[in-house]
Structure 1
Amino acid sequence: MAFSYKKPFLSADEAASALGVEVQTIYAYVSRGLLHSESGGRKDRSKRYRKEDIEQLLLRREERSQPGKTARAALSLGQPVLESSITLLGEDTLFYRGKDVLKLSENQKFEDVASLLWDCEESYPFDTTWPKLSEECIGILNRLEGRPILDISRILLPFIEYEDAKAFRKDHKTYKKTSSSILRYLCLFSSGKTSSEGSISETLLSSWNKKKESSNYGSKLRLLEASLILSADHELNVSSFTARCVASSEASLYQVVLAGLAALSGPKHGQLTERASTLLSQSTGNLKKDKLLLEEKLRNGENIPGFGHPLYKKGDPRGKKLIEMVKRFYPNDPNVQIYLQFLKQVEELIEDYPTIDAGLALVSKVLQLPKGAGIGIFGIGRTAGWLAHAMEQYESGNLIRPRAKYIGNLPEV
């Protein structure tokens, strides 16, 4: 199905051209409920149409002629398979419930963005005090010291669920209260603390980077907030789709997050952040040596992690944003310049752009965070999105149950 428009909204003429119909037919589609029109803004009286709606109409045509083909494509970077009001992906930015994420990353707290994702208009779920780890959890946490952050979270979260019987109540207020507690617990697991009084970013930074009195503490905190915000959601990525599938069975929010963490642990998802961090650690600052290193990896058939995203032909805006912020906050730091130079070398060599994985790896190096912090940031940030998807799926009441096309041996007659 050919569809070349990149922007999220189309004019009536563009919609008609994409569908191969007259503009009057577009208006007829609206009146029949097949398309939804929206105002172009205060100064623009014309109507605009969502690209996803146009794609759905095209998809319906193709389904009638090739039903198997479109079903397979939908599960692999293809057409939307379910409706969501959480995240809209654009060509050079993305939006959480209509808010530009790149702008949110500049001045918002992660907790405020999580509340936005959870559609918390009536009450703020982070007004309550932080939870405290039980003696049993503290003992286990001490024994797990040095283990990967995601592993610690996957081990301890079931203990927290067992102690939180109220979390099984099925109402919006409980969902949001439980969600805020889960995020804070993940923060405690990652920081090694038993409780806190600050924000999630402040808690992580105070544990991972002790130099709070340094002159650039504000820049460090903003980079960490931005990293969490930009990681929070990315529509139906593999971990978010996994989370929605689990939520559709009406499993608890704790089990939804455990499922998301399992998907995130794979080498094609969250582990890309750690691989990008390992690659960045190999930079020397010597252009010739670094070029030889990268060329050797390519000759050996190795993939360069942290570059190239299939949904963004002009580069992942999340990775771009983190790199731009690092450049702005650390314009004269020689070590930072080595990392930036290395990323630029990779970009020129493989002719592709850095993703959020490269951005998180860069932030981890610049802030001198401990090993595994990059995927820890990704995991805590993305948990906010998993919880948003879970609540949206609960609201729909639908069980996600795709069908498989059997291609094995036919039964014997």
Structure 2
Amino acid sequence: MDALPRLSAAEAAARLGVKPESLYAYVSRGLLSRERDATGSWFDPLEVEAFAGRRRRSPAPPSSGAAAGTPLMVLDTRLAHVEDDALHYRERSAARLAREQSFEDVVCWLWGIRTLRPPDADDVQVARRTIAALGDASRPLDRLAAGVTALAVTDPLRDDPAPEQLARIGARLVTGLPAALLSEGAPGAVAPTLWRALGGRDDADGIHLLDAALILVIDHDLALSTLAGRVAASARASGYAVVTAALGAFDAPLHGTASRSAFRLLRAVRDGQAPAPAIARAVRDGGRGIPGFGQSLYAGADMRARLMLELLREAPQSADVMAAVDAVTEEVARRTDTRPNLDLALAALTLWAGMTEDAGAVVFAVGRIAGWISHAVDEYDERPMRLRPRGRYVGPPAE
């Protein structure tokens, strides 16, 4: 059996966000166990993660000011909300939309337009050449960002301040970017085009699953990337600039690229590694939580993950991936009470499809563009520059 990786005292303290002294106080009070050898103290990553989860659920003490870690602001949103552990886009169930509608249909409904008009073939070619110039060392999100810039440069109306331009720009992006990731071909339906661009297996069921995933990632409360996009929209940035700003916040291991670590975890278990050491190693290497688990907006399970995994379980040749999902989920449930989230579902989908570990982030980003544009439309209805915060200086006094 594989040896269970351990956290050093410094790593465990960093995971909990405490000083080493506090960590050892937890040990002395019997809240955490440790092993000692000649090199120091060592901690079980899964026990540390379970303890971290219990601490997160502790009620915050009353305070006259905003506590550290609380939201900077609360903004009204007219797009997504979670009610009774179910995600809704406006008044409609996201799960039902994912089962019954195409991504294009949902986006057109959200934006109030009839169809998604793609960019011209020449514009797509410019985006392809721009992406190709980055070389093989570029990451998928680098290529998406370059594609956004290229499609902006080729758009003579990019700086038109009319609000209706946002949906037009959004249509260029969600249809043009998947096509630009391919070496040839005109833009077509988003899911099939993106499926080919990401190297998905020849499987119609996979395209249906990808369509559902694109719908489920459109929006989810006010994520950091969504806030970044709304800040740009508050300054009346173009749709391209809104998406660029959002992508900057999205391209982060604690947000948009979190499925990468979940992919590695599932792949290790699928390929024969025991769940416990695989999870422990993922926690140790990632530095924050179990990849693919935990979502604070739900009292129970993340409904997006639940639906995607249900659909994937019904897909052909998914038994080995779902066995890995089940093994990891059971081991996590045995040690903590955190449940699968969207990142695990994206990792399972892309692993089954034969894609790379970064494919989940691309799926997430392309689908979320629809949400960022929707939020930009709403922000254009608000007072300009309202999201410009005030700073409070806390540095050393002037001499």
TM tier relative to shorter chain: 0.7 to 0.9
Structure 1 counterpart of 2:234: 248
Q: Are 1:202 and 2:192 an aligned pair?
A: yes
Tell me the TM-score normalised to structure 1 length.
0.73
Q: Secondary structure at the match of 1:165?
A: coil
Question: What one-letter code is carried by the residue in structure 1 that aligns with 2:166?
Answer: Y
Q: Please, which runs of 5 or more residues in structure 2 have no aligned partner? A: 1-61
Aligned residues: CA RMSD: 2.8
Change (3 A) 1:210 1:389: closer
1:276 alignment partner, one of 250, 258, 262: 262
Q: Secondary structure at the match of 1:390?
A: helix
Counterparts of 2:124 and 2:195, CA distance in 1: 23
Counterparts of 1:135 and 1:223, CA distance in 2: 28
Q: Secondary structure at the match of 1:73?
A: coil
Q: Are 1:293 and 2:278 an aligned pair?
A: yes
Q: Secondary structure at the match of 1:69?
A: coil
Question: What one-letter code is carried by the residue in structure 2 that aligns with 1:73?
Answer: T
The one-character-per-residue Cα deviations of 1:284-316 (angstroms, maximum 9, x if unpaired) are: 4658x2323334555789432111112223121
Q: Are 1:372 and 2:358 an aligned pair?
A: yes
User: Aligned runs of 1:369-408 on 2, under 5 Å?
Assistant: 369-399=355-385, 400-408=387-395
Greater RCO, 1 or 2 (C-alpha within 8 Å, sep 6+) = 2
User: Aligned runs of 1:8-407 on 2, under 5 Å?
Assistant: 66=64, 68-69=65-66, 73-75=70-72, 81-118=74-111, 120=112, 123-126=113-116, 131-133=121-123, 135-146=125-136, 147-189=138-180, 191-209=181-199, 211-212=201-202, 217-284=203-270, 286=272, 289-295=274-280, 302=287, 303-330=289-316, 333-399=319-385, 400-407=387-394
- Count of residue correspondences: 335
Change (3 A) 1:82 1:208: closer
Counterparts of 1:128 and 1:344, CA distance in 2: 44
Counterparts of 1:367 and 1:282, CA distance in 2: 16
The one-character-per-residue Cα deviations of 1:170-207 (angstroms, maximum 9, x if unpaired) are: 33432211110011222123x32444353100112234
The answer to whether the 8 A contact 1:273-1:357 is kept is yes
Question: What one-letter code is carried by the residue in structure 2 that aligns with 1:105?
Answer: A
Question: What one-letter code is carried by the residue in structure 2 that aligns with 1:291?
Answer: A
Counterparts of 1:167 and 1:109, CA distance in 2: 27
More deviation, 95-104/157-166: 157-166
Structure 2 counterpart of 1:25: none
Q: Secondary structure at the match of 1:244?
A: helix
Structure 1 counterpart of 2:53: none
Tell me the TM-score normalised to structure 2 length.
0.76
The answer to whether the 8 A contact 1:306-1:356 is kept is yes
Change (3 A) 1:105 1:344: farther
Q: Secondary structure at the match of 2:177?
A: helix
Q: Secondary structure at the match of 1:240?
A: helix
Taking every aligned residue pair, what percent have the same amino acid on both sides? 26
After TM superposition, give the deviation of residue 84 of structure 1 in Å: 1.8
